[in-house]
Structure 1
Amino acid sequence: MALRIDIRQDAEGAIRQAVDVLASAEPVALPTETVYGLAADATAAAAITRIYEAKGRPRFNPLICHMSDLAMAERYAVFDPVSRRLAEAFWPGPLTLVLPLRPGSDIHPLATAGLDTVGIRVPKGFAGDLIRAFGRPLAAPSANTSGKISATDADHVEADLGNRIRLILDAGPSDVGVESTIVKVENGEMRLLRPGGLAAADIERVAGQRLKRKRAASAAIEAPGMLASHYAPGASVRLDATDVAAGEALIRFGQHPVAGEKEAAIVLNLSPGGDLSEAAANLFAFMKRADASGAASIAFTTIPDEGLGEAINDRLRRAAAPRS
């Protein structure tokens, strides 16, 4: 079983222990402001292979490479003017930029799934400190079995991956609760590959232009989170519910009651006050609680498709998609 260290009690000791594990080409589960990540040396084939093995993740699905700051990111990728403006405005934070690899970059092709681009993010807080101490970028998808619900606290990681990894770093619940927003700039135009913890409107305000939405689901995988079925609980997922069947789990948003909820297996409310930030922070934890209720189906009421609601609805549509 993985060793678990509370970084709120001993951050320096946690960094020393984590650097030792990372240097041995093993992954470490670490907290970020978005979700918990399963991090390993982005320049080492053996380390990246162990991420894929621990998660059961398909190797055509690229990994985000996390940097300590913009200066480190510039050593591995080429920034166009729009991407640089976004990085300066939102890093550290929940924004990933897909950029051309710099010639001679040490990032291993396993991390980029063989693409000539790389997704880069600078996380807030402890994760950035750990990368700085390690001195190399960390490839870090979410710390969960591939395709399943992302982990937003150390308990989730331990229950899912605790017998497959050596070290879990615990910082309590994630602040944002959904993964980063992923943007790619092509010919000066921004394209949204995955909505996430940074609202599209904030990106558009800084860039002074509109974000184009990603291509059809049949398009090639360019970034994490683009698979049609993803973020899925064991139970089936039903969206835009106006009623709930007896024994079904219900996850609500806002104050309006739902017909039949007294007979539901469990009733959870992402945000009674209709706050999308609160809803995003609760999303994955509540999905796990509903799944653990034993219900065969989880019903979600409608969530506004604006601000962080775009990211929430993206996760729910993928959770509800047909599964292979």
Structure 2
Amino acid sequence: MDAQSPVIRRYGTAASQEAAALIRAGGIVAVPTETVYGLAADACDSAAVARIYAAKGRPAFNPLIVHVRDLAAAERIAVFDDDARALAARFWPGPLTLVLPLREGAGIARLVTAGLPTIAIRVPAHRAMQDLLTQSGAPLAAPSANASNGISPTRAEHVAASLGAAVPLILDDGATAAGVESTIVAGRTILRPGPVTAEMLEEVLPVAAGTTAQVSAPGQMATHYAPRKPLRLGALVREGDEWLIGFGAVAGDDTLSADGDVVEAAARLFDALHRGDASDRTTIAVAGVPHVGVGVAINDRLRRAAHR
């Protein structure tokens, strides 16, 4: 294996034990979740969390999501109100992150919260992340396992290509199911759209989309999820030597969904952007995706990816 290549282990008992040992020793590990691959470290270990920021080149004012096994573990770290408990009961384990007041004495490293009085927390559904939480015995801070502002990874090979030897071990459990990062909710405000859509949230309590001037949760920076090449949105046809990523009736070099299925498009989004970025074309174009359901999350990621 190349000296600059990380170790990739197929998910299983031995690989999970190896990853947990690294976490307990203060290291970092790339692990799949149901959304994207995350770069995990013990959220209570300041030095370990610093290794995440160093590996990603992530600005220290950008907080991290903490992953825990279950609601009881979450309540030991964050202060829940009735709204938060209702959302947790409906959507956990799953791709919903809640921004809640940090419980006094929770032991979470200040670098995780970027010094804020709140914490972003979720209970993941993916078997590999759940195993790592169980075997490491620690809450895990885990942003996406890619260089800061780059395309998020939905496969182990995306992690290896983006971070190289900066991550010592990658647990490989194939492509992620959702393909975009978790929905983030603070109170009754959606800070980042994701697989848990506004319509799904509305079945539990009234919510509204919102933004804040301050970065109070992951995924709020104007430029994010970006390929190296310029990106054009809403394309109907290829222009020049563009790599065209189609959707529905718009065909191209690749497609998010030939059937116009926004859920399939979300699962394929970052993988398609990775292929376009690796192509021999100088620019990338993406067809329009309906702004409904998880299409809202797709368009959020594309807008940030194209912002320069």
Query: Aligned partners of 2:192, 2:211: CA distance in 1, in Å?
Result: 11
Choose the corresponding residue for 2:186, options 179, 184, 193. 184
Choose the corresponding residue for 1:4, options 3, 8, 23. 8
Report the Cα offset of residue 200 of structure 1. Answer: 1.3
Report the Cα offset of residue 283 of structure 1. Answer: 0.2
Output the amino acid matched with 1:280: A
Q: Identify the residue that residue 235 of structure 2 maps to in structure 1.
A: 241
Query: Aligned partners of 1:134, 1:298: CA distance in 2, in Å?
Result: 41
Q: Deviations over 1:180-237 (max 9, x none)?
A: 000000xxxx001000121111011122x1x221226xx1001110000000001111
Output the amino acid matched with 2:208: K
Choose the corresponding residue for 2:209, options 206, 209, 213. 213
Q: Identify the residue that residue 23 of structure 1 maps to in structure 2.
A: 24
Q: Deviations over 1:40-72 (max 9, x none)?
A: 000010000000000000000000000011110
Q: Flag structure 1 segments of 5+ consecutive residues without an equivalent.
A: 262-266
Query: Aligned partners of 2:56, 2:241: CA distance in 1, in Å?
Result: 31
Query: Which TM-score applies when normalising by structure 1?
Result: 0.92
Contact kept in structure 2, 1:69 and 1:128, CA below 8 Å: no
Query: Which TM-score applies when normalising by structure 2?
Result: 0.96
Query: Aligned partners of 1:147, 1:154: CA distance in 2, in Å?
Result: 18
Query: Aligned partners of 1:197, 1:215: CA distance in 2, in Å?
Result: 18
Contact kept in structure 1, 2:237 and 2:250, CA below 8 Å: no
Output the amino acid matched with 1:255: A
Query: Aligned partners of 2:281, 2:108: CA distance in 1, in Å?
Result: 43
Output the amino acid matched with 2:275: R
Q: Identify the residue that residue 262 of structure 2 maps to in structure 1.
A: 276
Question: What secondary structure sits across from 2:189 in the alignment?
Answer: strand
Q: Flag structure 2 segments of 5+ consecutive residues without an equivalent.
A: none
Report the Cα offset of residue 119 of structure 1. Answer: 0.3
Report the Cα offset of residue 255 of structure 1. Answer: 2.0
Q: Identify the residue that residue 151 of structure 1 maps to in structure 2.
A: 153
Question: What secondary structure sits across from 1:288 in the alignment?
Answer: helix
Q: Identify the residue that residue 295 of structure 1 maps to in structure 2.
A: 281
Contact kept in structure 2, 1:68 and 1:129, CA below 8 Å: no
Q: Identify the residue that residue 40 of structure 1 maps to in structure 2.
A: 41
Question: What secondary structure sits across from 1:60 in the alignment?
Answer: coil
Report the Cα offset of residue 120 of structure 1. Answer: 0.3
After TM superposition, list the pairs within 5 Å mapping 1:225-240 onto structure 2: 225-240=219-234
Pairwise CA RMSD: 1.1
Contact kept in structure 2, 1:154 and 1:168, CA below 8 Å: yes
Query: Aligned partners of 1:167, 1:33: CA distance in 2, in Å?
Result: 19
Question: What secondary structure sits across from 2:166 in the alignment?
Answer: coil
After TM superposition, list the pairs within 5 Å mapping 1:132-151 onto structure 2: 132-151=134-153
Query: Aligned partners of 1:156, 1:4: CA distance in 2, in Å?
Result: 12
Q: Identify the residue that residue 264 of structure 1 maps to in structure 2.
A: none
Q: Identify the residue that residue 93 of structure 1 maps to in structure 2.
A: 94
After TM superposition, list the pairs within 5 Å mapping 1:71-150 onto structure 2: 71-124=72-125, 125-150=127-152
Question: What secondary structure sits across from 1:197 in the alignment?
Answer: coil
Query: Aligned partners of 1:203, 1:14: CA distance in 2, in Å?
Result: 36
Report the Cα offset of residue 37 of structure 1. Answer: 0.2
Query: Aligned partners of 1:277, 1:256: CA distance in 2, in Å?
Result: 17
Q: Identify the residue that residue 53 of structure 1 maps to in structure 2.
A: 54
Output the amino acid matched with 2:99: V
Report the Cα offset of residue 150 of structure 1. Answer: 0.3
After TM superposition, list the pairs within 5 Å mapping 1:153-172 onto structure 2: 153-172=155-174
Query: Aligned partners of 2:211, 2:141: CA distance in 1, in Å?
Result: 25
Question: What secondary structure sits across from 2:144 in the alignment?
Answer: coil
Choose the corresponding residue for 1:319, options 287, 305, 308. 305
Query: Aligned partners of 2:222, 2:7: CA distance in 1, in Å?
Result: 34
Contact kept in structure 2, 1:37 and 1:140, CA below 8 Å: yes
Question: What secondary structure sits across from 1:163 in the alignment?
Answer: helix
Q: Deviations over 1:213-269 (max 9, x none)?
A: 1226xx100111000000000111111122321311111110245xxx6xxxxx111
Contact kept in structure 2, 1:18 and 1:167, CA below 8 Å: yes
